[in-house]
Amino acid sequence: MPTQTVVIGVDSSTQSTKAAFTDVATGELLAVGRAPHQVGGTGGARESDPENWWRALGEAVAAGLRESGLTPSAIAGIAVAGQQHGLVVLDRAGAPLRPALLWNDTRSAPQAAALTETLGGPAAWTARTGSVPVASMTAAKWQWLRENEPAAAKSAAAVRLPHDFLTERLAGVAVTDPGDASGTCWYSTATGAYDPGLLDLIGLDAALLPPVAATGAARIGSLTPAAAAVLGLPAGITVAAGTGDNMAAAVGLGLGGAGLLDHPVLSLGTSGTVFAATRTRPASTALAGFAATDGTYLPLACTLNCTVAVDKVASLLGLDRDAAEAGGEVVVLPYLDGERTPDLPDASGMVTGLRHTTTRHQILGAAYEGAVVTVLRALDEVLRACGLDPAAPETAGRPLRLVGGGAEGRHWVETVRRLSGRPLLIPQSTELVALGAAALAAGAATGEDPVALAAGWQREGARQLPPVQRDIGTWDRVSAVLDRAAPALLSR
- The answer to whether 65 and 34 have CB atoms below 8 angstroms apart is no
Answer yes or no: 245 catalytic: yes
Nearest of 228, 236, 195 to residue 212 by alpha carbon: 195
Phi, psi of 165 (to 5 degrees): -60, -45
Rounded to whole angstroms, the Cα distance separating 369 from 373 reads 6
C-alpha 184: how far from chain center: 13
- Of 164, 245, 449, 471, which is the active-site residue? 245
Q: Which residues are catalytic?
A: 245
